[in-house]
Amino acid sequence: MARMKFLCDADRCIECNACVTACKNANEVPWGINRRRVVTINDGRPGERSVSMACMHCTDAPCAAVCPVDCFYTTADGVVLHSKELCIGCGYCFYACPFGAPQYPRVSNFGSRGKMDKCTYCSGGPEGADGSAAEYATYGANRMAEGKLPLCAEMCSTKSLLAGDGEIIAQIYRERVTKRGYGSGAWGWKTAYQETVDV
């Protein structure tokens, strides 16, 4: 089975935020929740780079390890999902997540954050049949069940954000770096997957 990953080629990202918009539209996420975001490093200075970031679906995911109710699981595609039925909204996954992926519908007062929401790699969730209305309402789209990749990567205007089998997208990135002669690396890969894309 393929091991699904995200790779953001920061040398191509133009910070258009189309991935963010695509994600919001595909999953109908509530106001205030951002499953994906674009962060710009050294904004306005030489060497500025933008990186589109969401849940990286880590190997040995920190969120899953620290969850007090053990509500996370990894799919056969290597996608890290969680059950909103079990989630108690304690916020531990946010402390553990290296990428700030977990989102909560409510913030502040006495730690009642509501059920955590995060990128599902457009794979739906555990409750409800694949592609059902119930699944969509709770977890968003299940494009993977339809044989499609996450919409953020599919809609990326510069093909900076790559989704798919980790081996294949790493190969695509390697070829790009070889051809153009530079690359600032696969952001987050070392932290998420304990590996880098060497060229």
Residues of this chain that interact with another protein (CB under 8 A) are 10-11, 17, 20, 32, 34, 37-43, 46-51, 53, 62, 65-71, 85-92, 94-100, 107-108, 110-113, 181-185, 187-188, 190-191
Q: Which is nearer to another protein, 62 or 140 (CB)?
A: 62
From the CB of 69, what's the least distance to another protein, in Å? Answer: 5
Q: Which is nearer to another protein, 30 or 131 (CB)?
A: 30
Q: Which is nearer to another protein, 2 or 86 (CB)?
A: 86
Please give the sequence-ordered ranges of beta strands (E in DSSP) within 34-152, or none if there are none: 37-41, 49-53, 72-74, 80-82
From the CB of 196, what's the least distance to another protein, in Å? Answer: 8
- C-alpha distances (whole Å) from 22 to each of 16, 19, 82, 93, 155 are 11, 5, 22, 25, 7
CA distance 178 to 176: 5
Beta-carbon contacts of 166 under 8 Å, excluding residues fewer than 6 positions away, are 2, 3, 4, 5, 78, 193
Position 54: which residue type? A
Specify which residues 81 forms β-bridges with.
Answer: 73
From the CB of 77, what's the least distance to another protein, in Å? Answer: 22
Q: Which is nearer to another protein, 34 or 75 (CB)?
A: 34
From the CB of 155, what's the least distance to another protein, in Å? Answer: 17
